Amino acid sequence: MDVPPAAHAEVLVVGGGVVGLSVAWRAAQRGYAVTVADPSPGSGATHAAAGMLAPVSELTYTEEPLLRLGLSSLVRWPAFAAELAGESGIGVDHRTDGTLDVAFGPDDLAALGEVAGLMEKLSLPVERLTGRECRRVEPMLAPSVRGGVLAPGDAWVDPRRVTSALLAALSHRGVTMVAARVRGFAVEGDAVRGVRLADGRLITADQVVLAAGAWSGTLEGLPPEALPPVRPVKGQIMRLRGAPGFLGRCVRGTVHGSGAYLVPRGDGEIVLGATQEEMGFDTRVTAGALWELLRDARELVPGVTELEVAGVVAGLRPGTPDNLPLIGRTALPGLLLATGHHRGGVLLAPLTADVVAAEIAGDRSPAGGTDDPPVASICSPLRFGGPPRPGTGHFPWTKEERGPSPGRTPGPAAPEAR
Amino acid sequence: MDVPPAAHAEVLVVGGGVVGLSVAWRAAQRGYAVTVADPSPGSGATHAAAGMLAPVSELTYTEEPLLRLGLSSLVRWPAFAAELAGESGIGVDHRTDGTLDVAFGPDDLAALGEVAGLMEKLSLPVERLTGRECRRVEPMLAPSVRGGVLAPGDAWVDPRRVTSALLAALSHRGVTMVAARVRGFAVEGDAVRGVRLADGRLITADQVVLAAGAWSGTLEGLPPEALPPVRPVKGQIMRLRGAPGFLGRCVRGTVHGSGAYLVPRGDGEIVLGATQEEMGFDTRVTAGALWELLRDARELVPGVTELEVAGVVAGLRPGTPDNLPLIGRTALPGLLLATGHHRGGVLLAPLTADVVAAEIAGDRSPAGGTDDPPVASICSPLRFGGPPRPGTGHFPWTKEERGPSPGRTPGPAAPEAR
């Protein structure tokens, strides 16, 4: 009951969010024939992302490896954004005015001071501000703000513009977009040879990059232990229409124990974010989430109540057990991962794309400068154990795909020399 | 520069909200050739209305005339809804389970007790309930509810279904719908002879009914003092998707000084309402309004936070200086009013339609039973003074329309015998 192969790609990317599209772009730039499969590119977590590139202000005690990844990707963003704008003609509203994290009560201020101490210990460029200094920097802040920490190196982009720009750049480079859902992997022996679409069509590929975000663990065809351990972490945001200059930079604060933020776009839009909910694959916008977002935003910047509501949306972030992404080759020949970025997909897309594209090409030289973190070890898809050993895995697709030989070399996919 | 008359109607209704469409329906039932002009019928205040038919629970001390109007229209609703469903095939989700008005603090309870006393003095059918009794009636109510008043005769409908049903009924009866904005009146001598559309077309009419809601005072062609004194009163509502039975009846309460309510539809939808804002012709949905709606609804029924948000919308109610509508003939021959219904358009539509249709036909018998309020005096368009005396008014449309005679009898429009 084989369906004839509908198409073949050198590189097939499953998932058209900011990570998958960035990987596709970098692979296409290296000359590969790339296909991206996604029923609705850019409509997942990326669509509900605020776009903060804020590794410094998002630092927490236990997540220094994530900080290192974030800083490494942050320095790539200016060139990434400029190159993308050049190829696509679409600017991504890349802004570099920093993030201001503020505190209300004395406890909040003490906690913020602790984090600022850690930042200073790590030689991160931050400035401690009094409440008055905070309001001088951001006059719309609540009078009750007691102090803050400015991270001047943090930046942000508009993720929806990034998606649009990436899609335009991919189109210019002749990347094939398949607007269909991927049901599972096509496996031959122990190697991934392509994917099966929900409508039954087969796309064969030399190398498959799984970048399906929160859905990365739901595809058929692999034994459960070979699937990446990602889970959906629901986030809801609200977009408001403000006047340009309403806020000059990203404003964050801990309100009632939940981290709230306001991200200003160049056109005056303000994004309020974001809930973090363990609700499974639930993308309903709920009354309670909107209430929390509005309650927290009002405390930080009371003037938001006058702004028009432009929209509300929920997305599903791909969370992992250690909050670090899964990037690189798996134990299965032909399958790479670029998923599990949780809240950091937009920030980490340039780094992820560089690393994965180099891996695809078998380019073992450092992807960036000498300050690069050891992505291969920090983000290894093998770190949670459990990849199937050759010959022991149960691959439901194996028999189905074994019929007609697609005419490819069996065995581990060799990096192609270009 | 006359534009040739594009059309002629015996009765021309300006405005396709619940009031205008109801008037058109009743006039069409009496055999008149009716035209309704509205760029987007049903999209104004009716679209943002919760549809409460609650004259009892909305009683306030100074508004007994409004109570009498409301009760008179409330008793018409069952037959109105049934007849409308019969003609259109569309049910309007008419529900008659009453309204429960609840109180939180001791002050709230005392104030509610005062109103209940007035209701009892007026022999209105109400029941005082303890907090426990309130929760027995509505288990989703907050534990902090101290007591309440049940108005079992109050009812509600889905205004969007009412609009759809009226449009279907009008279509069946051959009423002409003109999907265009009316710019102003066509006046000849001292009589209104039709309207001029925004695109310049003229529609002549024997009788014009102005039912343009909040926009009723903005039309050109009449001297300012002849325009009805209506102003826009902005209201914002939120629709939530609940399960059928989440609430059994309308729930109201005064929270932080603002009157909040939750109206359940038969399909489980819950409407939260409503703000009352003096903002001019502003229909932006604002962050502050959503926050207030959610804050108040949470206090009344905490479980709403789990519900999905189905939509938010703002509408403009037509407010008048005395909170009473403007219904009946004006001092200008050919012009009747059916506007100024403020928060009561849905409730008062059946009464208004009966009264105006009878006026159009010159039918001086009581529109309903002997309990009818004296609508002609309570709602008289003449009560705010200032209609132009013949010959002294400044009518910008006069010269323009005087050219070709549309072939109608000059002078006051005589009620047609049928």
This model of the complex carries an ipTM of 0.83
Ranges A119-123, A252-256, A352-356, B19-23: which has the least confidence = A252-256
**Residue B254, pLDDT score:** 81
Chain-chain contact of A305 with B287 (C-beta, under 8 angstroms): yes
In a domain, B83, yes or no: no
**Residue A311, pLDDT score:** 95
Which tokens in the block code for residue B31?
């055999």
**Residue B404, pLDDT score:** 37
Same domain, A219 and A348: yes
Chain-chain contact of B240 with A287 (C-beta, under 8 angstroms): yes
**Residue B265, pLDDT score:** 95
Structurally, how many domains does chain B consist of? 2
Of B284, B291, B304, the CB nearest to A298: B291
Using a CB-CB distance cutoff of 8 angstroms, which residues of chain B are in contact with residue A313? none
Using a CB-CB distance cutoff of 8 angstroms, which residues of chain B are in contact with residue A283? none
* Nearest residue to B109 (alpha-carbon basis) of B136, B129, B132, B137: B129
| Domain end (from A318, A344, A365) | A318
**Residue B35, pLDDT score:** 98
Strands (E), A51-140: 52-53, 99-103, 127-130
Percent residues over pLDDT 90 in chain B: 80
* Nearest residue to A102 (alpha-carbon basis) of A265, A238, A241, A247: A247
Please answer whether residues B375 and B69 qualify as being in contact, where contact means their C-beta atoms are separated by less than 8 angstroms: yes
Query: Which residues span the domain enclosing B376?
Result: 6-47+161-230+322-401
Same domain, A236 and A226: no
Same domain, A248 and A383: no
Instruction: Please check whether residue B307 touches A, CB under 8 A.
Output: yes
Using the predicted structure, report yes or no on whether residue A4 has a pLDDT greater than 70: no
Same domain, A293 and A335: no
Using the predicted structure, report yes or no on whether residue B5 has a pLDDT greater than 60: no
Of A284, A288, A305, the CB nearest to B291: A305
Helix (H) or strand (E) holding B137: helix B131-137
Contacts of B251 (CB under 8 A, 6+ apart): B99, B100, B102, B138, B141, B261, B262, B300, B301
Using a CB-CB distance cutoff of 8 angstroms, which residues of chain A are in contact with residue B262? none
Which chain B residue has the Cα nearest residue A271?
B287
Same domain, B217 and B328: yes
> Integer distance in angstroms from the first to the last C-alpha of chain A?
37
Mean pLDDT of A27-47: 98
> How far does the CA of residue A17 sit from the closest CA of chain B (Å)?
25
Same domain, B130 and B264: yes
Of A307, A308, A312, the CB nearest to B309: A312
For residues A74-89, one letter each, b for 16 or more C-beta atoms within 10 angstroms of the residue's C-beta and e for the rest, the string is bbbbeebbeebbebbe
In a domain, B314, yes or no: yes
CATH number of the CATH domain containing B284: 3.30.9.10
Chain-chain contact of A294 with B290 (C-beta, under 8 angstroms): yes
Amino acid making up residue B170: L
**Residue A400, pLDDT score:** 35
In a domain, A245, yes or no: yes
Same domain, B249 and B290: yes
Chain-chain contact of A307 with B298 (C-beta, under 8 angstroms): no
In a domain, A413, yes or no: no
In a domain, B89, yes or no: no
> How far does the CA of residue A279 sit from the closest CA of chain B (Å)?
12
* Mutation for testing the A interface, residue in B271, B290, B299, B304 having most A CBs under 10 Å: B290
Please answer whether residues A375 and A102 qualify as being in contact, where contact means their C-beta atoms are separated by less than 8 angstroms: no
Of A287, A305, A312, the CB nearest to B288: A305
> What does the pLDDT look like over B206-219, one tens digit per residue?
999 999 999 999 99
Please answer whether residues A414 and A390 qualify as being in contact, where contact means their C-beta atoms are separated by less than 8 angstroms: no
Same domain, A190 and A294: no
> What does the pLDDT look like over A299-310, one tens digit per residue?
999 999 999 999
Same domain, A391 and A244: no
> What does the pLDDT look like over B178-217, one tens digit per residue?
999 999 999 998 899 999 999 999 999 999 999 999 999 9
Mean pLDDT of B64-85: 97
Contacts of A86 (CB under 8 A, 6+ apart): none
Q: How many beta-carbon contacts under 8 Å exist across A and B?
A: 66
**Mean pLDDT of chain A, nearest integer:** 89
| Domain end (from A303, A318, A333) | A318
Using the predicted structure, report yes or no on whether residue A253 has a pLDDT greater than 70: yes
Using a CB-CB distance cutoff of 8 angstroms, which residues of chain A are in contact with residue B285? 308-309
Instruction: Please check whether residue B302 touches A, CB under 8 A.
Output: no
Using the predicted structure, report yes or no on whether residue B397 has a pLDDT greater than 90: no
Q: What is the per-residue DSSP string for B278-331? A: --SS----BHHHHHHHHHHHHHH-GGGGGSEEEEEEEEEEEE-TTS--EEEE-S
Please answer whether residues A35 and A201 qualify as being in contact, where contact means their C-beta atoms are separated by less than 8 angstroms: no
**Mean pLDDT of chain B, nearest integer:** 89
- Report the distance separating Cα B127 and Cα B133, nearest Å: 11
Percent residues over pLDDT 70 in chain B: 88
Residue B173 burial by Cβ neighbours in a 10 Å radius (0-12, 13-18, 19+): middle
In a domain, B146, yes or no: yes
Same domain, B388 and B279: no
Which tokens in the block code for residue B139?
């288990």
* Nearest residue to A258 (alpha-carbon basis) of A319, A318, A300: A300
- Write down the residue that tokens 């692999």 correspond to: A222
> What does the pLDDT look like over A190-212, one tens digit per residue?
899 999 999 999 999 999 999 99
- The Cβ of residue B366 has, within 10 Å, a number of other Cβ atoms equal to 14
* Nearest residue to B332 (alpha-carbon basis) of B175, B181, B195, B183: B195
Whole-prediction pTM: 0.85
In a domain, A102, yes or no: yes
Degrees (nearest 5) of the Cα angle A239, A245, A251? 60
Q: Please provide residue B5's backbone torsions phi and psi, each rounded to the nearest 5 degrees.
A: -55, 130
Q: Please provide residue A297's backbone torsions phi and psi, each rounded to the nearest 5 degrees.
A: -65, -40
Same domain, B337 and B284: no
CATH number of the CATH domain containing B330: 3.50.50.60
Instruction: Please check whether residue A219 touches B, CB under 8 A.
Output: no
| Domain end (from A266, A286, A318) | A318
**Residue B367, pLDDT score:** 52
Instruction: Please check whether residue A298 touches B, CB under 8 A.
Output: yes
> What does the pLDDT look like over B144-178, one tens digit per residue?
999 999 999 999 999 999 999 999 999 999 999 99
- Report the distance separating Cα A106 and Cα A191, nearest Å: 57
Strand partners, A271: A239, A263
**Residue B386, pLDDT score:** 56
Which chain B residue has the Cα nearest residue A310?
B285
Using the predicted structure, report yes or no on whether residue B379 has a pLDDT greater than 80: yes
| C-alpha torsion sign, points B48, B52, B57, B62 | positive
* Mutation for testing the A interface, residue in B234, B286, B293, B299 having most A CBs under 10 Å: B286
> How far does the CA of residue A272 sit from the closest CA of chain B (Å)?
11
Same domain, A237 and A313: yes
Of A285, A288, A294, the CB nearest to B287: A294
Using the predicted structure, report yes or no on whether residue A410 has a pLDDT greater than 50: no
Instruction: Please check whether residue A287 touches B, CB under 8 A.
Output: yes
Using the predicted structure, report yes or no on whether residue A416 has a pLDDT greater than 50: no
Helix (H) or strand (E) holding A142: none
**Per-residue pLDDT band at A102 (split at 50, 70, 90):** very high
In a domain, A415, yes or no: no
